[in-house]
Chain A
Amino acid sequence: MRAPTLYLHRKSGLHALHPLTKLALAGFFLVAAATLPNLWLVLGVFVIGLAPLAAWGQVFKPFIRTSALLIWPFALSLFLIQGFFTPGENILLKIGPLAFKAEGIWLAAKFTARILVWLGAATLLMIVTRPDMLMLALIERGLPRQIAYIILTSLQIVPRFQGKAQVILDAQRSRGMETEGKLTHRLRMLVPLIGPLIMSSILDLDERAIALEARAFSREGRRTSLKSLHDTSMQAAFRWLMIALIVALIVVWLIRVLP
């Protein structure tokens, strides 16, 4: 069963930063990749921004591995589809009626670089930030507790439900259910598989609700938290800087694209 989150525990300076500082940094990379006009600038964000940060967080190898794993399906589709179907003059390769064009390669490279930075920023943030700490930081800034509850509980129970699905699949197979064969047959098999999964989950919802209510879940008012976050005025200033840079990037981009 796969780990429910990407978080990797390390004792690094990056890990020790306040979750919102890391979120602001990820937001800056995201906006930079979306608004920078040039392929090399976008790749630069990855090489001189994300990669050294990952090294600082002592997660360089897993970060590069995850990024590579996530980007290759996009890269493959982009280079094939844009390479063949983007209109252009500079033909590199002809296969039958199809022509592979330089214009398409450039377009594909630009989108691949952008997606690489986006996925990289998101995965790096999640590799070095505990989801519960991020949620705690957001609650302190006004996120409703219920939203944090939903996200954190989902992350916890996803592996359990994946296990449950596997158990139901095995149980039906051991009763002789044929899971191979024609598509129409396999489609019909969905009902005896999904049915028990959903039914059994709905039936124990009441218990979950009672367990929460017994802990005053819906009570109004302030809560104290067992966990506490470490923040510094330096980091607060850094976050404002990131927000200012994000606004600046968007303004420059708007000036460029608006007629």
Chain B
Amino acid sequence: MDRIRREFTTLTLVMIPVAIAINVAVGQLVLALKIPLYLDSIGTVLVGVLVGPWAGALTGLLANFVWTFTGLFPEAIAWAGVAAIIGALAGAFRVGDWMKVWWKSLVAGLITGIIAAILSAPIAAYVFGGVTGAGTDAIVAMFRAAGLDMLGANMAQGVVSDPIDKAVTFLIIWAILLALPERIKARFSSE
């Protein structure tokens, strides 16, 4: 309880909408550069890493609500729980001091990606009939052709795509932490 209270200062509350808008805007930049990644949880990871796991979780959860509200990606709400766990994991890795070294950040991203993939697959398989309506469905089709069932193919697709996406996300956040003045970082810290 005490930790939750310490994480949710006014500064954190103003940061969360900014982080959510960053998720959307970075998603757009990635499209403009034609990079085959999403990077749409970069703001969520940023809040998790700067503030802590509870704030990260809330950012992820509400980010997917906002995606739904904007109409850009209305099915996002089905994955709100996964997004919350991504934010919480980012916070946990920061508490565990993994975000100071580049390769530990990379490993943290890979682990987050694998967990996200495992949690997302049942949602895609049982709720959406094994598809997400995105380009990655081509990979799902490949795994189904190789003989995997609906859940298996979705999990395999996730394990192929998500860890790379999250590893790049965590590395970018590591670089940003490096560039941020100590004075600013201290303002967010809930320790």
Contacts and interface: CB of A to CB of B under 8 A. Distances in A.
Say if A and B assemble together. Answer: yes
Given A108-B129, A126-B71, A85 B141 contact: yes
Contacts of A205: 11, 14-15, 18
Contact of B20 (A5, A110, A150): A150
Contacts of A76: 133
Interface in A178-203: 179, 183, 186-187, 189-191, 193-195, 197-199, 201-203
Interface stretch (A40-48, A51-59, A212-220, A244-252): A212-220
A187 B34 CA distance: 10
B145 interface: yes
B29 A158 contact: no
Given A161-B22, A179-B33, A193-B29, A81 B68 contact: no
A17 B63 CA distance: 27
Nearest to B43: A198
A4 B65 CA distance: 13
Contacts of A85: 141, 144-145
Interface string B58-98: 10001101101111101101000000000000000000000
A194 B42 contact: yes
B17 interface: yes
B128 A111 contact: yes
A107 to B, nearest CB: 7
Contacts of B184: 202-203
Given A150-B16, A206-B11, A183 B35 contact: yes
Contacts of A98: 145
A108 B134 CA distance: 16
A81 B175 contact: no
Interface in B1-25: 8, 10-11, 13-18, 20-22, 24-25
A127 B183 CA distance: 44
B29 A165 contact: yes
Interface in B122-181: 128-134, 137, 140-141, 144-145, 168, 172, 175-176, 179-180
Interface residues of B, number: 60
B133 A158 contact: no
Interface in A1-16: 2, 4-6
A86 to B, nearest CB: 9
Contacts of B46: 198
B26 interface: yes
Contact of A199 (B10, B134, B140, B180): B180
B58 to A, nearest CB: 8
A61 interface: no
Interface of A: 2, 4-6, 66, 70, 73-74, 76-78, 80-82, 84-85, 98, 107-108, 110-112, 114-115, 118-119, 122-123, 126, 131, 146-147, 149-151, 153-155, 157-158, 160-162, 164-166, 169, 179, 183, 186-187, 189-191, 193-195, 197-199, 201-203, 205-206, 208-209, 212-213, 217-218
11 contacts: A2-B70, A73-B133, A74-B133, A150-B13, A151-B66, A158-B66, A179-B33, A194-B29, A194-B172, A205-B14, A212-B14
Given A193-B29, A194-B39, A209-B10, 19 more contacts: A2-B72, A6-B69, A6-B70, A66-B71, A70-B74, A70-B75, A74-B128, A80-B141, A82-B129, A82-B130, A84-B141, A98-B145, A154-B62, A155-B69, A161-B24, A161-B25, A165-B26, A190-B39, A202-B15
